[in-house]
Chain A
Amino acid sequence: MSDAVSVLGGAAFSGAIEVADAGLCGMVTLRGDLSDPKLAAAVKSAVGLTMPAARGIKEGTKGAVAWMSPDELLLMVPHETADACVARLDKALAGSHFLAVNVSDARAVFTLTGAGCREVLAKGAPVDLSAAGLPIGEIRRTRLGQIAVAFWAGSETEMRVICFRSVGAHVYSWLCNAAQKGTLPGFL
């Protein structure tokens, strides 16, 4: 798989904060009955994490799991293991009504680093980006400028942004523009 490439090939920008292409990330969309213990067990076996609460995201050593909607999770695993993760879920959930699908390549992921991450995103997302409005451990699906995105804060100085691959270049340019030195409002 050495010929596999992420949308921006590892591009990085340094301004008021650092913006970087996070590279290829394995992602699996899992739709099903989130209250089913069988599904919770399958998730636990896939990423080693228990079910997140509504809008929650949990990150562990094997991967991460995010609550995307009442019947949808996003599992994050190393890129090369995404197909295996799907196979594992298929096997664990056989007989249930569910859908597990590898969406790794349909996405672009960016890492924001620095104290101003929240303010950079607040330039384009109609969301209360204060620490109270978007606490650590919560993922928010919304828009950034004109683009559908999801983001969460791993810490007060690191955030991640996910969008569709086709608009990855646009979102990267958008983030770099919003992160120009000396342009943060200093409000949050």
Chain B
Amino acid sequence: MSTRLANQGRVIDRSKALDFTFNGKRFKGFQGDTLASALLANGQTLVGRSFKYHRPRGIIAAGPEEPNALVGLGKDGKFEPNQRVTTTELFKGLTSTSQNHWPSLEFDVGAVNKMMSRFFPAGFYYKTFMFPRFAWKHVFEPIVRGAAGLGRVPTHRDADAYEYFYAHVDVLVVGGGIAGLAAAKQAGLAGAKVLLIEQTANWGGRGVVDGVEIDGKAADDWVSETVRELEAMENVTLRNRMMGAGVYDHGYALGYEQLSDHAPELGGPRHRLWRIRCKRIVTATGAIERPLSFAGNDIPGVMLAGAVRDYAVNFGVSVGDRTVVVTNNDDAYRTAIALVNAGLTVPAIIDARPVADGELPEMARRMGIRVETGKAIGKVIGNKKVQSVSLCVQAGEGASLEEIKCDAVAMSGGWSPVVHLWSHCGGKLNWDAANGMFRPDADRPPTGADGVGFVVVAGTANGHLQAGAALADAHAAGRRAAKEAGHKLGPNVASVATSEGENPMLPVWSMPQGASKKLRMKTWLDFQNDVKVSDVRLAAQEGYESVEHTKRYTTLGMASDQGKLSNINGLAVLADALNSEIPQVGTTTFRPPYHPISFGAIAGEARGELFKPIRKSPIHDWIADNGGFWEPVADWRRPYCFQRDGETVKGAVTREILNTRQNVGLLDASTLGKIIVRGPDAGKFLDMLYTNMMSNLKIGKCRYGLMCTENGFLSDDGVVARLSDDTFLCHTTSGGSDRIHAWMEEWLQTEWWDWKVYTANVTEQYAQIGVVGPKARQVLEAMGGMDLSAEALPFMGFVDGEIAGIKARAYRISFSGELSYEIAVPASQGLAFWNAALEAGVDLGIQPYGTEALHVMRAEKGFIMIGDETDGTVIPQDLNLGWAISKKKTDFLGKRAQLRSFMQNEDRKQLVGLLTEDPQTVLPDAAHAVEGPKRANGMQNIIGHVTSTYYSPTLGHSIAMALIKGGSRRMGEVLSFPVAEGKVIRATVVDPVFLDKEGARQNV
């Protein structure tokens, strides 16, 4: 059983005890513990269940590579599933719960999956999809859904805050071990602006655990000294608890800073996502130890040798009284030596190599530790905990020579450099067969905007597994990065690290060499996803030769640790099964983030009120205070209607329409786009942009115009006013102002740059308020100001002047068919004007109206709406707008496209009006019109669809517009619209202008 040692523990503070809970049980840990070390200190070796078979799982590692020990942390708004206990720092009051089991961690019903394991082989999901449809839906899906997923989805809104930060530096150094510190120091001394980040709370990495000496001092002392030196440098910033999450194009990197996970009482943002631009990135990310593939390597108590050492040295935690060490390299001997030095027992070191005569093995032997060379673990015996291991010869098939009692196994299959950040953006790797690892190929780095490599790898991450070589490499990397970032180097004075010499490792991919199928079925590669050696072999046998396919088929490396432990071992098994070599099989793609980061950090501040910017008109707050029922219109919010107390939405819309048609309505039209176009060539330019002629528009007059794309399709519409000889004001749709302004600038800057035209988007300079209805003129006259009589301001004209003492431009335009003015006033006085109009119109029955009344009234008049009647495939001719297309102009945007034969086809869908047989029945939006006999599948030929549909209170019946094949030839035809539940609505094709065809109402 694991427990706390009486001594050791370089990072814990035994004077500061912290209470925490795991599955409701109260435990005690120390300041400086991770949740992993604290759980082990309390003897909690069983911490979770695996994904597929619900096998008992214990802690295996001490860092972000941990595949097993995932827990739910916190509760309610602070709950977060799938947190690694190895990267979770302990704090007072921490609450954690294990995952993936029911009803309890100790007794799990899902573990029957284990018995069913022959039914869950590689490719289970794919094979299951091959079953008949009904079986998937009724049998498998409910079971798979119930069992799927790690952890529990949070039920509360995340209570924490998150943010981004953009940082620009010369050199980013990722990793605060001795290599990262050395590299940062060199870059800093050269004067580069340096950011050094370390994912854990502590500086020094493995060097300080492994007894390295630097410049004749203990690594610990050298690290403290170097950190102090770096902190004193103006141009260097150090951040711990900040992980290099990803490297992207052109020197862009993401840093994930955990500000208060270790101390929730700090408040403030929980995580900060750093978006870093740098000239060079030094990755000093170290290496991760690999498991060995022997039967039972997933049983709680089997751990990585380096992790066992970390727990003892850093946290003063013993993972067991009797730990068997199994290895293929010299480094694992350090674990045995550390354990014995801590007063614990190592019954044997089992070394797969035929000979082990290096400095460390000899030291172990001198300490009296039994060393067995050329041997292997046949299998681990135990269920929820290790009881013993069977010793066998590595060269054989696993026949037991001896059973060795133990309660923990420390395994080491060698080390894999952490090459993720190097690879994220395209850095290539070479296979180092002697050390059984992929290393960055310095000749094929990820390249930046200048075509030169921008990532420099340093230390162990570069494949230098021994401290001396690693530190020398990091020193050079730091200098190189600073130089390449444009800084002059100072004197070349390097620190020198010394550690015990190490003999070569022996790549061992299967233990023992000839392990039987029975053993292979108990030999885990991916501990979280339950992928075993037998699964990868089966995939190879079934024809999966590509590593990318095998990964997806078996789910190897697809767990939340992304194969940090399993990838190389899996590759080796695949290569062996395919009778190939590891470099030929290749590696899978490394993708960011290196280690999972929170969704909160990705979202940053963009949540709640700040999730999506809302554009607000100058009248917005008044609308909000006066019953406005909002609808989104592009990024704006506009009132659908103004609801009164006790009124339904529909009732409000009807009231607003009738009041506007009978009395007078007030509309906030400020959202309409307004673009000034000025210059000697402004007329010529607008003639190219609009389908109609604009250059002959008289000063003081307005004209409705259409814009098309070069494909000929209608893209926007609006009223153009000519302000002076060389100045026009173009109105766009509410959603179109930025797009149309950009469209204008694009043509002016990239095609007709010799034309003398300037544009300015003045949309928000004005509040634009529609005063609409038979009594509109009376309201404006009552407000006092300029002459707005029919003679002074005829239909489709505008005048400048003052109304109610406010500088105003009055347009006489109508989208409702009523007598109608749109008054543009400075936005800062928009609300003042709005209030003045309401006051002046009190006795005339003035009421504000919303967008739905606007829509119904325009539909009554047969006016189209961009986005309702258009969908990016509609040309103006389809909408009976041929009258707005100039025949005189030799060219305009979209003209050539509209000449294509398909655009001229008489059978194109054309706009028609519809009257339902039952006047009270309103067609559903987008209902399809069908004709002809039903086909075998019950479907009929679709000939068109409804684009706008309303109940018209003015007319007392429903009205609709539709795009129907050859519609203009179908006047009087009755069309069928099948709707839900087998019902069919029948409607007659009519002219889409339903009200006041002569336009008498607006000509007053």
Do A and B share a direct contact in the complex (Cβ within 8 angstroms)? yes
Interface residues of A (CB under 8 A from B): 1, 3-6, 24, 29, 31-32, 71, 79, 83, 97-99, 101-107, 119, 122-130, 133, 145-147, 164-170, 173-174, 177-178, 180, 182-183, 185, 187
> Is there an interface contact between A99 and B758, defined as CB atoms closer than 8 Å?
yes
> Is there an interface contact between A99 and B676, defined as CB atoms closer than 8 Å?
yes
Chain A residues with CB below 8 A from B765, complex form:
101-106
Q: Is B999 an interface residue (CB 8 A)?
A: no
> Is there an interface contact between B829 and A174, defined as CB atoms closer than 8 Å?
no
Q: Is B739 an interface residue (CB 8 A)?
A: no
> Is there an interface contact between A166 and B605, defined as CB atoms closer than 8 Å?
no
> Is there an interface contact between A170 and B268, defined as CB atoms closer than 8 Å?
no
Q: Is B545 an interface residue (CB 8 A)?
A: no
Q: Is B978 an interface residue (CB 8 A)?
A: no
Stretch of B32-40, B42-50, B159-167 on the interface side: B159-167
Q: Which residue of A lies closest to B275 (CB)?
A: A126
> Is there an interface contact between A5 and B165, defined as CB atoms closer than 8 Å?
no
Q: Do most interface residues of chain B lie in helix, strand or loop, or is the interface mixed? A: mixed
Q: 17 A-B pairs, CB-CB below 8 angstroms?
A: A4-B826, A4-B829, A4-B832, A79-B828, A97-B680, A99-B676, A101-B765, A123-B163, A124-B166, A145-B613, A146-B613, A165-B618, A165-B827, A166-B615, A174-B605, A177-B605, A182-B268
> Is there an interface contact between A99 and B679, defined as CB atoms closer than 8 Å?
yes
Once bound together, how far apart are the Cα atoms of A119 and B606, in whole Å? 18
Chain B residues with CB below 8 A from A4, complex form:
826, 828-829, 832
| B154-192 interface code vs A (CB 8 A; 1 in, 0 out) | 000000010111111000000000000000000000000
Once bound together, how far apart are the Cα atoms of A165 and B237, in whole Å? 38
> Is there an interface contact between A5 and B828, defined as CB atoms closer than 8 Å?
yes
Which residue from B167, B610, B676 sits with its C-beta under 8 Å from A177? Answer: B610
Given contact pairs A31-B758, A123-B163, enumerate 19 new A-B contacts (beta carbons under 8 Å): A3-B806, A4-B828, A4-B829, A31-B760, A99-B760, A104-B826, A105-B765, A105-B828, A119-B165, A123-B165, A145-B605, A145-B610, A146-B612, A166-B615, A167-B616, A168-B616, A174-B605, A182-B267, A187-B165
> Is there an interface contact between A170 and B614, defined as CB atoms closer than 8 Å?
yes
Chain A CB within 10 Å, residue with most, of B605, B610, B826: B826
Which residue from B237, B277, B609, B618 sits with its C-beta under 8 Å from A173? Answer: B609
Q: Is B617 an interface residue (CB 8 A)?
A: yes
Which residue from A97, A103, A174 sits with its C-beta under 8 Å from B756? Answer: A97
Q: Is B763 an interface residue (CB 8 A)?
A: yes
> Is there an interface contact between B164 and A124, defined as CB atoms closer than 8 Å?
yes
Q: How far is the CB of B952 from chain A (nearest CB, A)?
A: 32
Q: Which residue of A lies closest to B832 (CB)?
A: A3
Q: Is B840 an interface residue (CB 8 A)?
A: no
Chain A residues with CB below 8 A from B610, complex form:
145, 170, 173-174, 177
| B83-97 interface code vs A (CB 8 A; 1 in, 0 out) | 000000000000000
Q: Number of A-B pairs whose CB atoms are under 8 Å?
A: 126
Question: A4-B826, A166-B616 given as contacts; is B166 within 8 A of A126 (CB)?
Answer: yes
| B744-758 interface code vs A (CB 8 A; 1 in, 0 out) | 000000000000101
Chain B residues with CB below 8 A from A97, complex form:
679-680, 756, 758
Q: Which residue of A lies closest to B614 (CB)?
A: A170
Which residue from B166, B272, B764 sits with its C-beta under 8 Å from A166? Answer: B764
| B232-254 interface code vs A (CB 8 A; 1 in, 0 out) | 00000100000000000000000
Which residue from B168, B277, B764 sits with its C-beta under 8 Å from A106? Answer: B764
Q: Which residue of B lies closest to A79 (CB)?
A: B828
Once bound together, how far apart are the Cα atoms of A167 and B831, in whole Å? 17
Q: Is B355 an interface residue (CB 8 A)?
A: no
Q: Is B120 an interface residue (CB 8 A)?
A: no
Chain A CB within 10 Å, residue with most, of B195, B609, B759, B760: B760
Which residue from A105, A125, A145 sits with its C-beta under 8 Å from B606? Answer: A145
Once bound together, how far apart are the Cα atoms of A169 and B613, in whole Å? 9
> Is there an interface contact between B163 and A6, defined as CB atoms closer than 8 Å?
no
> Is there an interface contact between A29 and B760, defined as CB atoms closer than 8 Å?
yes
Q: Which residue of A lies closest to B163 (CB)?
A: A123
Q: Which residue of B lies closest to A119 (CB)?
A: B165
> Is there an interface contact between B613 and A170, defined as CB atoms closer than 8 Å?
yes
Q: Is B269 an interface residue (CB 8 A)?
A: yes
Once bound together, how far apart are the Cα atoms of A118 and B740, in whole Å? 34
Q: Is B464 an interface residue (CB 8 A)?
A: no
Chain A residues with CB below 8 A from B272, complex form:
185
> Is there an interface contact between A165 and B758, defined as CB atoms closer than 8 Å?
no
Q: Which residue of A lies closest to B605 (CB)?
A: A177
Q: Is B636 an interface residue (CB 8 A)?
A: yes
Once bound together, how far apart are the Cα atoms of A1 and B827, in whole Å? 12
Chain B residues with CB below 8 A from A168, complex form:
616
Top 4 A-B pairs, shortest CB-CB distance: A3-B832, A166-B615, A128-B168, A105-B827
Q: How far is the CB of B759 from chain A (nearest CB, A)?
A: 8
| B243-286 interface code vs A (CB 8 A; 1 in, 0 out) | 00000000000000000000000011100100101000000000
Once bound together, how far apart are the Cα atoms of A129 and B169, in whole Å? 11
Chain A residues with CB below 8 A from B606, complex form:
145-146
Chain A residues with CB below 8 A from B269, complex form:
183
Chain A residues with CB below 8 A from B268, complex form:
180, 182-183
Once bound together, how far apart are the Cα atoms of A145 and B237, in whole Å? 25
Which residue from B163, B613, B678 sits with its C-beta under 8 Å from A178? Answer: B163
Once bound together, how far apart are the Cα atoms of A24 and B163, in whole Å? 30
Which residue from A79, A165, A174, A178 sits with its C-beta under 8 Å from B764? Answer: A165
Once bound together, how far apart are the Cα atoms of A180 and B161, in whole Å? 11
Once bound together, how far apart are the Cα atoms of A103 and B268, in whole Å? 38
Q: Is B762 an interface residue (CB 8 A)?
A: yes
> Is there an interface contact between B615 and A103, defined as CB atoms closer than 8 Å?
no
Chain B CB within 10 Å, residue with most, of A31, A79, A102, A119: A31
> Is there an interface contact between B605 and A105, defined as CB atoms closer than 8 Å?
no
Q: Is B766 an interface residue (CB 8 A)?
A: yes
> Is there an interface contact between B827 and A99, defined as CB atoms closer than 8 Å?
no
Once bound together, how far apart are the Cα atoms of A1 and B676, in whole Å? 25
Once bound together, how far apart are the Cα atoms of A101 and B615, in whole Å? 22
> Is there an interface contact between B166 and A129, defined as CB atoms closer than 8 Å?
yes
B444-462 residues with Cβ-Cβ distance < 8 A to A are none
> Is there an interface contact between B828 and A169, defined as CB atoms closer than 8 Å?
no
Q: Which residue of A lies closest to B617 (CB)?
A: A166
Q: Which residue of B lies closest to A3 (CB)?
A: B832
> Is there an interface contact between B168 and A164, defined as CB atoms closer than 8 Å?
no
Question: A123-B165, A146-B606 given as contacts; is B760 within 8 A of A101 (CB)?
Answer: yes
Q: Which residue of A lies closest to B636 (CB)?
A: A166
Once bound together, how far apart are the Cα atoms of A127 and B807, in whole Å? 40
Q: How far is the CB of A134 from chain B (nearest CB, A)?
A: 10
Which residue from B166, B678, B762 sits with its C-beta under 8 Å from A127? Answer: B166
Chain A residues with CB below 8 A from B613, complex form:
145-147, 167, 170
Chain B residues with CB below 8 A from A164, complex form:
615, 764
Q: How far is the CB of B828 from chain A (nearest CB, A)?
A: 4
Chain A residues with CB below 8 A from B826, complex form:
4, 104-105
Once bound together, how far apart are the Cα atoms of A23 and B766, in whole Å? 17
Q: How far is the CB of B632 from chain A (nearest CB, A)?
A: 14
Q: Which residue of B lies closest to A32 (CB)?
A: B758
Chain B residues with CB below 8 A from A165, complex form:
618, 764, 827
Chain A residues with CB below 8 A from B764, complex form:
105-107, 164-166
Q: How far is the CB of A41 from chain B (nearest CB, A)?
A: 19
Q: Which residue of B lies closest to A2 (CB)?
A: B832
Chain B residues with CB below 8 A from A5, complex form:
828-829, 831-832
Question: A99-B679, A173-B610 given as contacts; is B829 within 8 A of A185 (CB)?
Answer: no
Which residue from B166, B195, B267, B676 sits with its C-beta under 8 Å from A101? Answer: B676
Once bound together, how far apart are the Cα atoms of A101 and B764, in whole Å? 13
Chain B CB within 10 Å, residue with most, of A32, A130, A173, A185: A185
Q: How far is the CB of A124 from chain B (nearest CB, A)?
A: 7
Q: Which residue of A lies closest to B257 (CB)?
A: A185
Question: A106-B764, A106-B827 given as contacts; is B758 within 8 A of A123 (CB)?
Answer: no
B586-642 residues with Cβ-Cβ distance < 8 A to A are 605-606, 609-610, 612-618, 636
B111-139 residues with Cβ-Cβ distance < 8 A to A are none
Which residue from A32, A98, A128, A187 sits with its C-beta under 8 Å from B277? Answer: A128
> Is there an interface contact between B605 and A187, defined as CB atoms closer than 8 Å?
no
Chain B residues with CB below 8 A from A29, complex form:
760
